[in-house]
Structures are given as C-alpha cells and as structure tokens.
Amino acid sequence: MVERIPSPGLSAPLPVRAAQAVERTGDPRLEVFQRTLSTLLGSQLQASVMSRMQDGSFMVRVADMPVRMMLPPGTQPGTQLTMTVLAATPQPTFGLGDATLQGTLVPLSANAASLAASVAAASSRLLQAGGQAQAADLSPAARLLGQVLKNATGAPPLPTLNPATPLVPQGAPDPAQLAVQLRQAVAKSGLFYEAHLAEWAEGKRPLAELMAEPQAQKPAGTPPTDPSLSQLINQQLGTQESGQLVWQGQLGPQQAMRWEIGREEDERAAPGREPDEAGWHSGLRLRFALLGEVEASVSLRGSQLRIELLAKPGAAALLRQGAPRLQDALAAAGSELAALRIAGRGEAT
C-alpha cells in the first residue's frame, strides 16, 4: 500500500520504477557482456592477457571484450588463460584454477571508442583504386588524441568520482555540510575544468578554486597521454555524450553510496512544440544499518520537485511516518513538492 500525503496543490504520486542494477547506468556495453556470459555459466573460455597496469591489475580480453582484473603474481602479457564463467551478475566473475576473479569492464565512452576507432582506421594503410597501399597522413593533434584514448582503456577510475575516503568519517552527517561536500565533489572532479577556466579568465571564478581541480594539480609538463589525464578526458567525453555523471564512494565507513546526476528533457512536449525548460534528475542509493537499502529518485523542473523513495516494506512504513517532516522542510526551503511516492519493494502498486 502506497500512501499519498495530502497537501494543497499536491499532484498524483509518481509511478514506481523497478530498481535498476548499479552497473547498467555506467556503461551500456556491460549489459551485452553480462547477457553473453549468462549463456556460458559453467563453461570455459579462452582469455588473452593484453597488458599489465601500473596498479598491478591486468587488461584481459574475454569474449571479445576488454576486462580489467587481478591475476596471480607472475602472469605475463601475451599469456593465454582458460577461465570458467562463474557468474554474470552483479559483477562478471571467473574461476582460474583455485582462484576466483572479478572483472570490471574497461570504461570507455561511445564517443571515445568511436573516435579511437576512427583514428586507428586512419592510421592503417589504405588501399587505392589501383591496389597500391598508401599510408594515411594524420595531423599531430589527431595522433596525440588517438594515443590519449588508447591510454584511457587501461587507466583506473577517476579518484575524484570514486574516492576511497568516506565523506563522513564518523557520526551522523550534517545535511548542510554534506550538501556542500557533494557539490564540491562534482565541481572539483575535473569534468568541467575548461568551463571553469573560462569563468576564471572572465573574473567570475577565483584562482584558488581552479587550482583545486586535478588538471591544475598535475606537475607542469605532464603530457595528456598520462593515464590519469587520459581517463579524465575519456570521462569528459562520456559525460558530454550521456548528459549524466555518476559519483561512487562512501557516505560513512563501510557505507557505500552511489549518486547519479542527469539532465532530462520534457517528454510531454507536443509534436512541433518546443519542449519546456529541461529538468534535472538525481538518483541516490544508500544502505543504512536499520533501514537497509534505500533508493531515492528526485526530479526537479523549475521549482517543482518530485520525489520517489523505494525501500523494504518495514523501512518504507517508517519513511512514510516521517514524510510530513520532509514536506515541511522542503516548503521552508522554498521548494514546491509536486509529488511524493514512498513504496516498499514487492508491495502492490
């Protein structure tokens, strides 16, 4: 049973969407890879060790997909391995002898992959009509970009978007302070460095803020082919392409948190009519000691706010009890609550 909170001007509740797998949002290729592995559970696959990363992990080609994983000490690039598919979800898992290995799909945006493939194709020898081969002539910038995108396939995730340090080392978080921390996590991630640089040049942003971003903290002369910078460029392309970013870290010790931010267009616009002002969607997934996992979905368009909370049935009942306090707090902050939905997993909707 889903309760609606009575309030003047409060619209009908939002429909509940099924909780999605965490990995699906980050890279659509993962769904295809997992689907392939799900048909091969218990089967053996041949895997090729492509390279060894600076952190000791390896790039391995499995089922025609580059996967990053830890391998036994002494493994050398070029080695052929026979792995057993143990699981496809929630994370691809393989057996190698007595070891159990988990693989992470190499994060490469579609734009970056397409651009890298184009550069690689142009770098190859082209056949003329007469059958003679001619080497393509690429500009230095194109060759540099190709190398940058190639290096991004083996770089670790961005520490600014995947920090190891909890936001709140101990105690209960202060909402106002936590909001500032999350805002800074996005602003200082390096994804918007060029835009911030332009603002600084116009006198709209202090130099101290600019110097706190990863690009400014690199030693002078660091080439863009540096693995961390290559991954940052790749992530910038991915964010531009998808219109969303994902922050994954810890709220408190051993308390995983996933936060998604994305721009959403107005799907209600009639054909031939310009859509209204684009809104923003934010998704948050947290696990609490007493409530268990709680998933929040927030949509903001103009001043209208729509909130959807999904939790286990017992936790959902507690959240409903506190809903009037949430409504009052939003009203005090000047936000118009257009709809609120609180549902328990497995409850009839």
* pLDDT of 8: 36
* pLDDT of 4: 37
Render each residue's pLDDT in the chain as its tens digit; 349 residues: 333 343 333 333 333 333 333 333 445 567 778 888 888 888 888 888 877 776 778 878 888 777 888 888 888 877 888 888 888 888 888 888 877 887 776 555 555 555 555 555 554 444 444 445 455 566 777 777 777 777 777 667 788 888 888 888 887 788 888 888 888 888 899 999 989 988 888 889 898 888 889 888 888 778 877 888 888 888 888 788 778 888 888 888 888 888 888 887 655 444 444 455 668 889 988 888 788 889 999 998 887 889 999 999 889 999 999 899 888 888 888 888 889 999 988 665 5
Do you know the residue count of the chain? 349
- Using an 8 Å Cβ cutoff, are 310 and 345 in contact? yes
* pLDDT of 242: 75
* pLDDT of 345: 81
Q: Please tell me what DSSP assigns to residue 129.
A: T
Rounded to an integer, what distance in angstroms lies between the CA atom of residue 53 and that of residue 68?
9
* pLDDT of 125: 43
Domain range list for the chain: 28-105
Describe the chain by its helix, strand, coil percentages, rounded to 5. Answer: 30, 30, 40
Residue with tokens 């053996």, as numbered in its chain: 44
> Which residues does 185 contact at the CB level (< 8 Å), separation at least 6?
160, 161, 163, 247, 249
pTM of the shown model: 0.56
Rounded to an integer, what distance in angstroms lies between the CA atom of residue 219 and that of residue 117?
30
Rounded to an integer, what distance in angstroms lies between the CA atom of residue 149 and that of residue 117?
10
In angstroms, what CA-CA distances link 170 with 178, 182, 270, 288?
A: 13, 17, 50, 14
